[in-house]
Amino acid sequence: MQEPSATRRNPAQAMFDDDRASQALGIELLDVGSGTARARMTITETMVNGHGIAHGGYLFLLADTTFACACNSHGPTTVAARADVTFVRPARLGDELTASAVERTRFGRSGIYDVSVHRGEELIAEFRGHSRSIGAKPAGESEGETR
SS3 of residue 14 by DSSP: helix
Tens digit of each residue's pLDDT (9 = 90 or more) over 117-134: 999 999 999 999 999 999
Mean pLDDT for all residues in the chain: 89
pLDDT greater than 60 at residue 5: no
Residue partners of 137: CB distance under 8 A and separation at least 6: 77, 143, 145
Residue partners of 56: CB distance under 8 A and separation at least 6: 85, 87
Tens digit of each residue's pLDDT (9 = 90 or more) over 28-61: 999 999 999 999 999 999 999 999 999 999 999 9
What is the reported pLDDT for 40? 98
Tens digit of each residue's pLDDT (9 = 90 or more) over 9-25: 788 898 999 899 999 99
* Ordered structural domains, the chain, with CATH: 11-133 (3.10.129.10)
Q: How confident is the model at residue 7 (pLDDT cuts 50, 70, 90)?
A: very low
What is the reported pLDDT for 9? 72
pLDDT greater than 80 at residue 4: no
Return the closest-CA partner of residue 127 out of 79, 84, 91: 84
Instruction: Give the strand order in the sheet containing 110-119.
Output: 28-33, 36-42, 96-107, 110-119, 122-133, 78-87
Stated pTM of the model: 0.85
